[in-house]
Chains A and B, each alone.
Chain A
Amino acid sequence: GAGVSQSPSNKVTEKGKDVELRCDPISGHTALYWYRQSLGQGLEFLIYFQGNSAPDKSGLPSDRFSAERTGGSVSTLTIQRTQQEDSAVYLCASSLLSGNTDTQYFGPGTRLTVL
C-alpha cells in the first residue's frame, strides 16, 4: 500500500516568508510525528499527534512553528517568518499505535531552503 507522502519535496523561500509543509500519513495510522534533520545532524523531534490532538509539542523550536492535523489524517507544519536557521529537511512519520511496538514509518521529507 501507499507509504507516507510529503509535499513539496523541495521548497526554496526568502527569509521572512511563511511556508506550509504537508504530510499524508499511511491510511489508518493514528499517530503522526514531525522531525527536523539539519545538515549533518540526526533527527530532532518537533511534535506528535495522536488523532487530531497534539499531546507533545515540546520540540517546536519557537512560536513561529505550528502544526495542525485535521480529520485524523493530513497534517500541515507551518513556519512563519522563516529564518535561515530553519533550513533543514522536515520529515514526517506515522504509526499505528497498536500494541507496544509503535513502529514509525517515514516519508521522503521536504527539503526547506531559506535564502
Chain B
Amino acid sequence: GEDVEQSLFLSVREGDSSVINCTYTDSSSTYLYWYKQEPGAGLQLLTYIFSNMDMKQDQRLTVLLNKKDKHLSLRIADTQTGDSAIYFCAVMFSGGYNKLIFGAGTRLAVHP
C-alpha cells in the first residue's frame, strides 16, 4: 500500500534553517502537502506543491520535490521558537478518492 516516511525528530538552533524530509511510495500522487500541528491543536495547512513542480517558495518556507526519487522536503529559513511543532507530510492518494496519506510527523525543537 501507499506509504509516507519521515524522520521523527529534528533539533535546530534559533536563527538556523530547518530541513524536514519526507519520502513516499505512490508515484502517481498529484498533490503533496505540509501540515503543522502545535501542542493540543489541530492541523494547520502550511503549503502544498503540485507534482509537476520542483520547488515552491512562500516567505520563509521552501518546498522541494524530487519526483524521480519520491522525496519531498520543507525548508524553514530563520527558524524561530514559534516554529516548534510537529510537521506532517501528506500525499494525496491517487487511487480515485481524495484521501491523504500522512507520515508519522517530524517533531521540530528549536532551542536558543
Contact = CB atoms under 8 A, between A and B. Distances in A.
Interface residues of A, number: 28
B98 A97 contact: yes
A79 interface: no
Looking at chain B's contact residues, the main secondary structure is: strand
B98 A106 contact: no
B42 A109 contact: yes
Contact of A48 (B42, B48, B99, B105): B99
Interface of A: 4, 31, 33, 35, 40-45, 48, 55-56, 59, 91, 93, 95, 97, 100-109
29 contacts: A33-B98, A33-B99, A42-B102, A42-B103, A43-B43, A43-B88, A43-B90, A43-B100, A43-B102, A44-B102, A45-B99, A48-B99, A55-B97, A56-B99, A91-B42, A93-B43, A100-B50, A101-B31, A101-B48, A102-B31, A102-B92, A103-B48, A104-B45, A104-B98, A106-B35, A106-B42, A106-B44, A106-B45, A107-B42
